[in-house]
Amino acid sequence: MIHMICASHSNIPYLFIGEMNEYARKKREAEQAAASKDGAGGGNVALDELRHKEEMNARAKQKKLEATRLVQHMMTAEKREEMKHQAKLRHEMAVAYKTGDEETRKRLEKRLKPEERL
């Protein structure tokens, strides 16, 4: 009986087997496409990982942007101007240090020194 199954199986034409494999491949691709549209997963693992990484990067970028907006919102115009002024003084102090102007450097360093709070 086993011999008959093998003998009958070997009589299937090669093209017919190829068509069966092509049909099975197309059916699998259609199922995967439908599953990915439904969000059911089960698709390509590498594609899922890439999609997850992109989502995480987008979330991190959004979170960073919100934090920046919050900091800018909390800062008053006076504070922003003071920060710009301090940056300018630090630059002047660096130039004075490079040129060897000790008097200017010490004056700017004393001015930039943080005040002690009680």
**Tens digit of each residue's pLDDT (9 = 90 or more) over 4-20:** 444 445 555 554 566 66
Instruction: Tally Cβ neighbours within 10 Å of residue 50.
Output: 11
Ramachandran category for residue 39: left, alpha or beta (phi over 0 → left; psi -120 to 50 → alpha) = left
Does the pLDDT of residue 43 top 90, yes or no? no
Same domain, 51 and 61: yes
pLDDT digits (tens, 9 = 90+) for 88-104: 999 999 999 999 999 99
pLDDT for 17 equals 60
What number is the average pLDDT over the span 113-118? 66
pLDDT for 73 equals 81
Same domain, 104 and 83: yes
User: Does residue 88 sit within a domain?
Assistant: yes
pTM comes to 0.37
User: Does residue 108 sit within a domain?
Assistant: yes
User: Does residue 83 sit within a domain?
Assistant: yes
Percent of the chain at pLDDT > 70 equals 73
* C-alpha neighbours within 13 Å on the C-beta side of residue 44: 6
Residue ranges making up the domain that contains 59? 45-74
Same domain, 69 and 93: no
Does the pLDDT of residue 42 top 70, yes or no? no
Domain count of the fold of the chain? 2
d(CA 71, CA 69): 5
Nearest to 44 by CA among 28, 23, 66, 62: 28
User: Does residue 52 sit within a domain?
Assistant: yes
The pLDDT-based confidence of 23 (bands split at 50, 70, 90) is confident
